[in-house]
Structure 1
Amino acid sequence: MSETTDTAAGGRRGGRTVSKSTPDEVMGLACGLPLTRSVLRSVVADATPGQLGVPADLFRAENASRMESRRARLIRSAGFPCVKGFDGYDWGMASFPADWGREQLMDLGFVDRAEDLVLYGDVGCGKTHMAIATGMLACERGMPVRFFTASSLVMRLRRARDENRLDAELRTIGRARLLVVDELGYLPIDIDGARLLFQVIADSYEKRSVVFTTNLEFGRWGEVFGDGDMAAAVIDRIVHHGRIVRFRGESYRNSHSLMK
């Protein structure tokens, strides 16, 4: 037989010298040495099935580590106020459209299609929780997400404009696949802030999904934007590629309050 199996002391296998190495030596060789396809192809071609197990395990572990690091990085950069998932979520107060429900929400197909979602209804019924959980799910699947309250987004945009970096800020926000605008209508926004908010919404149209949470019906969005025409333009874009999930019920915070 031409193949030598004495690899422990350093032999030859398939024309390639196989040497015994220590773990520290392997770690030293691996640091700062990204593999090229040509080298990897050559090594794999000469390896036996048994020898392929170790690098296969290595690459699986590396891919898993990179995916986990990316998920953690996306969650950190999203700006969620807290960590909330769908485990234990109370779906009873959410009313979905007839042709679109929980499964469609959680498969995130609407994000792939750059469709919008309005979570509308009573205070304390799970709108923000659903928005955060949806954003967390998107991050776990490798999608960039940004989360803002409407007022914090306006303040961020105003500060960027005053510092002559509004375009850069809009580009940063625009890298998200999913944008969450929480508490739209909870705090008043002046006309200047409304124009900045409109700029983000208009720029997102058919490019990325926007999830809004609000306790205001569409007919009152003019109060938010201070301009009926601007509100109508926003609503027109949302309705074109969007859906409404309605929330009704007693506030979770009130029902679980210690002050009884």
Structure 2
Amino acid sequence: MFEEEIINLCKKLRLSRNLADMAQKTEGESHQEYLHKLLSSELKNREQVRISKLVNSAGFYSIKTFDSFRFDEITLPSGLTQESLKSLDFIKDKKNIIMYGRTGTGKTMLSIALGVTACQNGIPVKFYRTAALVNQLSEAKNAGTLSVLLKKLNKAAIIILDEFGYVPYDRTGSQLLFDYLSEIHEQKSVILNTNLEFSRWVNVLYDEQMTAALVGRLMHQCHLILFPGENNRLRESSINDLYHSISTESKGD
């Protein structure tokens, strides 16, 4: 009888079902200890739900952590340590991060790990393949809903743009991307991953003045992280091929 009443009271008080469930399992030597444990459980549950919502709404196409990332294979700039990067100091300072290196060297993995860590700290994130964001901006402008999309983007404290420069953007899309990044300049942190050196960005954005202005704004308060290593996917593939060949030879012997 009391279980159903507790569930209904939780609904009316906008408390989670978790509280009703924990009420049956929690024990305490005093009423105060019991209540403290129960409320602590509810708070922990709310934090977990919030983190889950932030991660799900960020747009990551996979979840990555720092555990398997090889920090010894990247070059951090002066003033940026592995510890300060993991602690997200750049977000507090509203600094940008540009990750530059060949395809498959870990730029996406590190940027997602940073984004997931931000979500775990209650910081809203938006992750996009750059071409996808450009398409969304163009479609929203054509549909007259650009302000709605920008309002959605503005809820994030950090914007992650992956695969910048992999494909050229049309002039309208380039202008919209430039306008958006200019609008959030020094207001939010941007992580941008690219395999293009700055001198070649004009091949993607077309306009030299706009390209120079965008590079200048992104680099104004920025950490440039270099990824000089080889393609990890190719390396892992080569290792697998080598293992397979050795295994086959062993069976033949």
Q: CA deviation at 1:253?
A: 0.7
Match of 1:97 in 2: 77
Q: Does the alignment pair 1:183 with 2:163?
A: yes
Equivalent-residue separation in structure 2 for 1:188 and 1:26 (angstroms)? 58
Q: Which runs of 5+ in 2 are unaligned?
A: 16-28, 243-253
Equivalent-residue separation in structure 2 for 1:183 and 1:33 (angstroms)? 46
Q: CA deviation at 1:50?
A: 2.5
Equivalent-residue separation in structure 1 for 2:208 and 2:220 (angstroms)? 18
TM-score for both structures, normalised by structure 2: 0.85
Match of 2:98 in 1: 118
Q: How does 1:7-86 map to 2 (within 5 A)?
A: 22-33=2-13, 50-86=30-66
Q: CA deviation at 1:75?
A: 0.6
Deviates more, 1:138-147 or 1:88-97: 88-97
Q: Does the alignment pair 1:132 with 2:112?
A: yes
Match of 2:20 in 1: none
Equivalent-residue separation in structure 2 for 1:128 and 1:225 (angstroms)? 22
> Any idea what SS the aligned residue of 1:243 has?
strand
Once the two structures are superposed, what CA deviation does each residue of 1:144-197 show, in whole Å capped at 9, x if it has no partner?
Answer: 100001100001111111110001111111110010000111111121111011
Q: Which runs of 5+ in 1 are unaligned?
A: 1-20, 36-48
Match of 1:106 in 2: 86
Q: Does the alignment pair 1:168 with 2:130?
A: no
Q: Point out which structure has higher relative CO (alpha carbons under 8 A, 6+ apart).
A: 2
Q: CA deviation at 1:90?
A: 1.3
Match of 1:193 in 2: 173
Match of 2:129 in 1: 149
What's the % identity of the aligned pairs?
Answer: 33
Aligned amino acid, residue 31 of structure 1: K
Q: 1:245 aligns with which of 225, 233, 245?
A: 225
The structure having more radius of gyration, on CA atoms, is 1
Aligned length: 227
Q: CA deviation at 1:31?
A: 3.0
Once the two structures are superposed, what CA deviation does each residue of 1:211-233 show, in whole Å capped at 9, x if it has no partner?
Answer: 00001111221122111111111
Aligned amino acid, residue 204 of structure 1: I
Q: How does 1:224-239 map to 2 (within 5 A)?
A: 224-239=204-219
Equivalent-residue separation in structure 2 for 1:58 and 1:178 (angstroms)? 34
Equivalent-residue separation in structure 2 for 1:33 and 1:184 (angstroms)? 47
Question: Which structure shows the bigger proportion of residues in helix conformation?
Answer: 2
Equivalent-residue separation in structure 1 for 2:70 and 2:93 (angstroms)? 27
Equivalent-residue separation in structure 2 for 1:50 and 1:245 (angstroms)? 54
Equivalent-residue separation in structure 2 for 1:27 and 1:193 (angstroms)? 51
Once the two structures are superposed, what CA deviation does each residue of 1:63-110 show, in whole Å capped at 9, x if it has no partner?
Answer: 111110010001110001111111111112210012212111111111
Q: State the Cα RMSD in Å.
A: 1.7
> Any idea what SS the aligned residue of 2:201 has?
helix
> Any idea what SS the aligned residue of 2:12 has?
coil
TM-score for both structures, normalised by structure 1: 0.83
